[in-house]
Chain A
Amino acid sequence: MTIILGIESSCDETAVALVTSEREILSHKLATQEDAHRPYGGVVPEIAARAHAEKIAPLVEAALADAGLALAEVDAIAATAGPGLIGGVMVGLVTGKALAHGAGKPLVAVNHLEGHALSARLTDPDLQFPYLLLLVSGGHCQLLAVEGVGRYRRLATTIDDAAGEAFDKTAKLLGLGFPGGPAVEAAAREGDPTAVPLPRPLLGSPEPHFSFAGLKSAVMRAAQSGDYQTNDIAASFQQAVVDCLVDRTDKALKGLDFAPSALVMAGGVAANAIIRTALQRLSADHGLAFVAPPLWLCTDNGAMIAWAGGERFAAGLTDPLDIAARPRWPLDTAADSVRGAGVKA
């Protein structure tokens, strides 16, 4: 059995966890920055970096204390090396490097997206490669063939905004607060998902890519019109996102060139209960198992980085101490750019 210490600092959560190769989460600590960013309606990179610098060392100490472990008992140090807000990523990665050097342990630089991609395997021992992954978060919306540790094929991506970004911007437009995902979901529970006619961008298009910019603009027009209740706009927006995700994932499933063991959903948006239920139904329609990590593992956390680091470590993949943090780092580096897509794809 190996024990991995994982560090996550790519956005607005500072997190540290200790996870074993036997899937035991020995401890997990998280310091959220939501209160610091709320007045700005979104994550401010410099505020995030300052908070990570303040919180990260105490969290490492607390995680070790909670697990009753000394650093010497850890087998490897895993830290997010990107993609993300570079100031925060650097703080976490340098902390990981210094812990690794100081304790004489290997360093594993983890792609944050790989953390999400493999997180379902932390809680589901039966999940085997390959599987189809719908990765939906504030920065990404992709369908990936997960063929093994470090082996990812991007099948589809957003050509503009990520789904989570659309949630955040909708919450901001509607004055629902921050973070946007839970705020929109809560408002949507009180609204009518059929009340506002909103577009479903790319619905039915031959390639399973995503688009949410037009939906966001339509939400803005609906809000400005004064014709609709906020809760109804939230519910209609959420339903539009559900319809897009289901249609695009269905398109991908029908065109797969491999037999997936399951449909896996991960990333912060996977914490949305309506979206989760819809994708679960789609999986059942295709006779596929549906796997999604528990809600706390969908949003950013240290356990998924520790687990992904452990999977890489077990595969003999470690990194040198001079490895650079990367603001952009696609999981599938060989994927072509998508027509109409900006740098986000």
Chain B
Amino acid sequence: MRRLVIETATEALSLALFEDGVLLDSYDAVIGRGHAEQLVPRIAELPDGGRADEIHVDLGPGSFTGVRIGIAAARALAIAWGAEVLGFETSSLVAATARALDRDLAGQALLVVMEGGHGEWLATPIAPTATPAATRSLLPAEAIAFDHEVVVGSRATEFVALRGSGRACPLHPSARYADMIDGMLLGTKLAPLYARAPDATPMAKPTLGHEGPSA
């Protein structure tokens, strides 16, 4: 059974192809933007074009666009291949990556801190064994109210510097560690997870010239 893992919800573009749990190939790059251009070509470069029986994809919260691109690609590939798609949260893969890279983190509580856009960070407290709590999009000054000792993720260094305490493990999630995500954290609901509502204000009345949100 082959499994393709797609991570595009962050500044990273990360892919992994497993066969019966054994890593066949992977791709990791921190690209910031450009997932829509690079994702499918990078999948095509994997063995057998990345063809898999099961696809795991990051649902977010993270980059709005990145999340949508990953899910769109996963669902379309699933139509073409007759594959099943399962989703995971960004924080789950970040935590799995951190614990894979630093075995000392096993059994420790973590705080995942990722870039959230609009000057905010995405903060997710993760207990040693429990399901991650909800991810919150917070201003840095609000985020540092979390008192976790170990902070992991793309904004870990900035977080620890701002708070003035703790241990930072700066990293981006890598799909090659997706097998370490607890199966209980995989879901079949494939809707993107957004940490913020759309930036839009309903129209109160005819605006007589005022330009509201429009295409």
Q: How far is the CB of A97 from chain B (nearest CB, A)?
A: 4
Q: Is the CB of B207 within 8 A of A87?
A: no
Interface residue range, chain B? 35 or more
Q: How far is the CB of B74 from chain A (nearest CB, A)?
A: 8
User: Is the C-beta of A40 less than 8 angstroms from some C-beta in chain B?
Assistant: yes
Residue in contact with B79 in the complex, picked from A40, A61, A97, A325, CB distance below 8 Å: A61
Question: Among residues 21 to 77 in chain B, which have CB atoms less than 8 Å away from a CB atom of chain A?
Answer: 36-41, 43-44, 49, 51, 64-65, 68-69, 71-77
Q: Is the CB of A223 within 8 A of B208?
A: yes
Interface of A is mostly: helix
Q: Is the CB of A138 within 8 A of B212?
A: no
For A70-103 the 0/1 string (1 means CB < 8 A from B) is 0100000000000001010011011111110111
Q: Is the CB of B207 within 8 A of A173?
A: yes
With contacts A40-B201, A41-B214, A42-B214 known, is A103 near B80, CB below 8 A? yes
For B203-215 the 0/1 string (1 means CB < 8 A from A) is 1011111001111
* Segment from B87-95, B100-108, B122-130, B191-199 that makes contact with A: B191-199
| Residues of B contacting A57 in the complex (Cβ-Cβ under 8 angstroms) | 72, 75-76, 78-79
With contacts A11-B215, A173-B207 known, is A91 near B76, CB below 8 A? no
Q: Is the CB of A53 within 8 A of B68?
A: yes
A-B contact pairs, 6 of them (CB 8 A): A40-B213, A42-B213, A94-B36, A95-B73, A98-B80, A102-B81
Interface residues of A (CB under 8 A from B): 11-12, 39-50, 52-54, 56-57, 60-61, 64, 71, 85, 87, 90-91, 93-99, 101-103, 138-139, 168, 172-175, 217, 220, 223-224, 320-325
Interface contacts beyond A91-B68, A94-B69, A321-B44: sample of 11 additional A-B pairs, CB < 8 Å, sorted by A: A40-B200, A42-B212, A48-B215, A49-B64, A95-B76, A102-B51, A173-B209, A174-B206, A220-B208, A321-B40, A323-B37
